[in-house]
């Protein structure tokens, strides 16, 4: 089964009278349990592609399917629910809520699904343990290192057991060693939990950790490379 499918996706940003074509017709599927990296130069459309996959923005043309449901067919509230349940995001700048501690940050996405406070906090603690930060549960983001903040962000992305994790330059703001640890955590989640993961990066060393590498250039797939296992 496919976690995400894109069919002929075109995205043109309109800047007044100027049109910026960011994606020029992109088609591919990510199967459940795959770990894929999207690599390409700055401005090639990587983040735009991830936003399309995450239903954060609409394509100008083409179709996006999440778990084989075409998202343009959903109403606003159905789409918001699908996004909350099925997609976990990890960003370059972590995007944690500064005034909330690690536990509350991780528990937050579960409030949108109406899970009780007790259950939310139990699950958040489990996730903290999974990313090796149980003893930091009461730290706010400013009281955590960059790598720790990103681990909290990954735990938050996992909170609702999403079908897919989408990460945009998750190591872009970390030193090489810490970046490597974050990638190892994602590799472990993919292997041990069969978690589907898509990572946007411009670092070849990170892309190589994934069996499949999609090369993007000027808004088009230049190469879709799958290494033999
Ligand atoms: N909101 C926007 N409005 C107008 N143009 C945009 C917008 N977002 C991106 N673009 C343009 O679309 C193109 C693709 O941008 P995108 O952010 O997807 O690139 P990227 O591959 O993620 O680059 P980077 O590696 O620098 O993050 C770029 O030319 C960019 O200038
Ligand atoms: Mg980008």
Give the residue whose CA is nearest to atom 17 of ligand 1. Answer: 47
Q: What does the pLDDT look like over 128-171, one tens digit per residue? A: 999 999 999 999 999 999 999 999 999 999 999 999 999 999 99
Q: Does 99 reside within a domain? A: yes
Q: Does 87 reside within a domain? A: yes
Contact 7, 63 (CB under 8 A): yes
- Report the C-alpha gap between 69 and 5 in whole angstroms: 9
- Structure tokens belonging to residue 145: 């290192």
- Structure tokens belonging to residue 173: 């703001």
Q: What does the pLDDT look like over 24-60, one tens digit per residue? A: 999 999 999 999 999 999 999 999 999 999 999 999 9
Number of domains in the chain: 1
- Report the C-alpha gap between 119 and 123 in whole angstroms: 6
Q: Does 65 reside within a domain? A: no
- Report residues whose beta carbon is within 6 angstroms of any ligand 1 atom: 13, 15, 20, 22, 40, 42-48, 202
C-alpha 143 to ligand 2 mean position (Å):
27
The mean per-residue pLDDT over the stretch 88-95 comes to 93
Q: Does 10 reside within a domain? A: no
Give the residue whose CA is nearest to atom 1 of ligand 1. Answer: 13
Q: Which atom of ligand 1 is nearest to the CA of 23?
A: 14
The CATH number linked to 147 is: 3.40.50.300
Percent pLDDT > 90 in the chain is 93
Would you say residue 176 has pLDDT above 80? yes
- Structure tokens belonging to residue 216: 């993007």
C-alpha 168 to ligand 2 mean position (Å):
7
Q: Does 11 reside within a domain? A: no
Q: What does the pLDDT look like over 190-201, one tens digit per residue? A: 999 999 999 999
Q: Which of 41, 47, 201, 207 to mutate to test the pocket of ligand 1 (most atoms within 8 A of CB)?
A: 47
Q: Which atom of ligand 1 is nearest to the CA of 169?
A: 27
Domain span including residue 211: 32-56+79-226
Query: Quick one: pLDDT band at residue 186, thresholds 50, 70, 90?
Result: very high
Q: Does 200 reside within a domain? A: yes
Q: Does 109 reside within a domain? A: yes
Ion ligand 2 neighbours, Cβ < 5 Å: 46-47
φ and ψ of 171, to 5 deg: -110, 5
Q: What pLDDT is recorded for position 2? A: 95
Q: Does 7 reside within a domain? A: no
Q: What pLDDT is recorded for position 152? A: 96
C-alpha 39 to ligand 2 mean position (Å):
10
């Amino acid at each position: 089964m496919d976690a995400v499918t894109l069919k002929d996706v075109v995205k043109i940003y309109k800047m007044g009278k100027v049109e910026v074509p960011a994606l020029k017709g992109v088609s591919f599927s990510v199967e459940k349990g795959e770990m894929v990296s999207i690599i390409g130069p700055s401005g090639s459309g990587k983040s735009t592609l991830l936003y399309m996959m995450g239903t954060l923005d609409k394509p100008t043309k083409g179709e996006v399917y999440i778990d084989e449901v075409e998202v343009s067919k959903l109403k606003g509230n159905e789409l918001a629910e699908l996004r909350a349940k099925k997609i976990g995001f990890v960003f370059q700048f972590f995007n944690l809520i500064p005034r909330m501690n690690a536990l509350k940050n991780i528990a937050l996405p579960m409030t949108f699904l109406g899970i009780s406070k007790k259950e939310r906090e139990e699950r958040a603690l489990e996730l903290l343990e999974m990313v090796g930060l149980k003893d930091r549960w009461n730290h706010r983001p400013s009281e955590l290192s960059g790598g720790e903040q990103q681990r909290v962000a990954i735990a938050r992305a996992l909170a609702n057991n999403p079908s897919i994790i989408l990460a945009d330059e998750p190591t872009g703001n970390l030193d090489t060693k810490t970046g490597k640890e974050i990638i190892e955590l994602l590799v472990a989640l993919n292997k041990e939990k069969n978690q589907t993961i898509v990572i946007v990066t411009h670092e070849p060393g990170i892309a190589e950790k994934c069996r499949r590498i999609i090369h993007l250039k000027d808004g088009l797939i230049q190469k879709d490379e799958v290494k033999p296992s």
